[in-house]
Copies of this chain bind each other. A is one copy, B any other.
Amino acid sequence: MDFQRLVLHRESCRAYDSARAVEDEKLRLVLEAARLAPSACNAQPYRFTVCRGELAKEVARATSGMGMNRFALDAPILLVISEDDYNKTAALGAKLKGNDYRSIDIGIAASHLTLAASDLGLSTCILGWFDDRRIRELCALSHPVRLVVTLGYAKEDKAPREKKRKEYSALIQEKK
């Protein structure tokens, strides 16, 4: 589908079909889209950890504090996005300019992941609420976890919800 349709089609999914596995080839394509994402100074300062089976359940539990994200337990795959070392050029630029390029890069990579998944008929939800320490322990990560993405097939095949966003004029200004 063209990109405009893909953007309208992609939405957060909070009800997964726990009995339906994600095909290996689709998972590979999703991860490849993330691998090819652009990043500041091509630093690629992130790492993706693919969690399945009992590990996925444990990671899902680590996103479920305060009644949040219970649906994550039904997703067959959880993708953990953690930081990785920064290269020198990017680290210097970030310092000189006081800009957090690493977080921006992680956003771009997450966008690639989730759009690629939608294009393949899969569903995702980007989770920012989780127990960092617990997930680092579960996945043997030496760097902070920044996002967890649930991946699987939606329980029901429904038309996309209408997106609620700020009005054009509140987000965009044209200057000449």
Interface string of A22-37 (1 = CB under 8 A from B): 0000000101111111
A112 contacts B by Cβ under 8 Å:
yes
Interface string of A157-170 (1 = CB under 8 A from B): 00000011110100
Question: Which residues of B lie under 8 Å from residue A112 when comparing CB positions?
Answer: 7, 111
Chain A to chain B: the 4 pairs with minimum beta-carbon distance, closest first: A107-B107, A103-B103, A111-B111, A3-B119
Number of residues on chain A facing chain B (CB within 8 A): 71
Copies in the complex: 2
In the complex the two chains form, is A176's CB within 8 Å of B52's CB? yes
Which residue of B has the minimal Cβ distance to A166?
A: B44
Of the listed residues A12, A100, A104, A129, the one surrounded by the most CB atoms of chain B closer than 10 A to its CB is A104
